[in-house]
């Protein structure tokens, strides 16, 4: 199997290189090798490599910057997935693509299912939803995974930011009225590899292509998440100026950002688990493992 992996230097792309390596010949690229803002570059890459599978974790993920850089966010998040799908369809290849909880408005009381109406509240969410639709309409067989609060040992993320701030200051405020599940890049990569393997074994058209929610188990809010990160760091012997109990909870209205965030990012993973026979670990397990890597344990 020939696998084309885009965004190899991102949090998820980095882990996917490891997870996909045993499954076939992986061509892993990033911006220097293929500018995803240029449809012609995407088409040239796909046509030259002729993959059996395209895996696309690449995206414009700077949520606040997207509000003022809408053209780039649209090119990477909305247009590129459709182009990949079109080229995959011509080859008879299939596509695995990653989307976001930000396609929802966050006002639902419970966890979102794949059938719930989308209503993104910011440019990032709108462009990611447009990318979902473009891939769905491309004619390519596909898996789309909506995930949330991605965290990995490689790249920038909330956990690393909290560790950095805790080494610099003695007080911190963190939003406590937004809920979701921190999901490790390693979990996303491992589930991806598992489903590629299942597809290789299944053959035919019986495989469950479509749209799925893929997040770790459990839930938390950003403030409690930050406290968990610091508690784990202290347990690992990390010297910190900021203690977990010194973090003060605030509301989203007290911390305005250019892009509006959904208050509820909970996503129901029943469809994914039942279709593919998977169990998804609690978010603390993945975050704990990542922190062990970051802290050198």
Q: What is the pLDDT of residues 45-58, one digit of tens each?
A: 999 999 999 999 99
- Sign of CA pseudo-dihedral 46, 48, 51, 57: negative
Mean pLDDT in the chain? 96
102 close to 120: Cβ distance less than 8 angstroms: yes
- The catalytic residue positions are 124
Instruction: Average the pLDDT over 195-210 and give the result.
Output: 88
Express each pLDDT in 7-27 by its tens digit. Answer: 999 999 999 999 999 999 999
Query: Domain 2-157+182-218+265-281's class?
Result: alpha beta
Angle (nearest 5°) at CA 59 between 72 and 49: 105
Among the ranges given (28-37, 44-53, 99-108), the one the predictor scored with the smallest mean pLDDT: 28-37
Q: Please, where are the H alpha helices in 141-294?
A: 158-168, 185-202, 222-235, 270-276, 283-294
How many residues are there in the chain? 297
Average of per-residue pLDDT across 251-271: 97
Residue range 277-285: average pLDDT? 97
Q: Is the pLDDT of residue 199 over 70?
A: yes
The DSSP bridge partners found for residue 55 are 5, 96
The values of phi and psi at residue 112, to 5°, are: -75, 140
Question: Over 70: is that where the pLDDT of 204 sits?
Answer: no
Mean pLDDT calculated for residue range 98-123: 98
Rounded to the nearest angstrom, the gap between the alpha carbon of residue 31 and the centroid of all alpha carbons in its chain is 18
β strands within 112-256, DSSP E: 141-147, 150-151, 172-175, 179-180, 183-184, 210-213, 220-221, 247-250
């Amino acid at each position: 199997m020939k696998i084309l992996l885009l965004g190899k230097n991102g949090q998820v792309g980095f882990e996917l290189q490891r997870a996909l390596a045993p499954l076939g010949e992986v061509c892993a690229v990033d911006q220097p090798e293929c500018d995803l803002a240029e449809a012609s570059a995407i088409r040239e890459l796909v046509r030259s490599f002729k993959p059996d599978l395209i895996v696309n974790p690449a995206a414009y993920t700077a949520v606040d910057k997207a509000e003022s850089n809408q053209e780039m966010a649209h090119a990477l998040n909305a247009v590129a997935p459709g182009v990949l799908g079109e080229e995959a369809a011509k080859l008879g290849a299939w596509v695995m693509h990653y989307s976001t909880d930000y396609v929802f408005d966050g006002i639902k009381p419970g966890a979102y299912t794949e059938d719930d109406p989308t209503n993104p509240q910011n440019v990032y969410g709108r462009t990611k939803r447009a990318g979902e639709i473009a891939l769905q309409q491309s004619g390519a067989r596909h898996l789309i995974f909506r995930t949330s609060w991605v965290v990995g040992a490689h790249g920038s993320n909330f956990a690393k930011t909290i560790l950095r701030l805790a080494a610099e200051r003695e007080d911190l405020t963190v939003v406590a009225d937004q809920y979701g599940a921190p999901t490790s890049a390693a979990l996303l990569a491992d589930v991806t590899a598992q489903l590629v393997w299942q597809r290789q074994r299944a053959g035919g058209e019986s495989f469950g292509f479509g749209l799925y929610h893929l997040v770790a188990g459990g839930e938390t809010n950003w403030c409690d998440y930050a406290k968990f990160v610091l508690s784990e760091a202290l347990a690992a012997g990390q010297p910190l100026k900021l203690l977990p109990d010194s973090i003060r909870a605030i509301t989203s209205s007290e911390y305005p950002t250019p892009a509006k965030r959904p208050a509820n990012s909970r996503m129901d993973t029943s469809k994914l688990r039942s279709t593919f026979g998977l169990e998804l670990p609690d978010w603390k397990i993945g975050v704990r493992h990542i922190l062990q890597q970051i802290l050198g344990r």
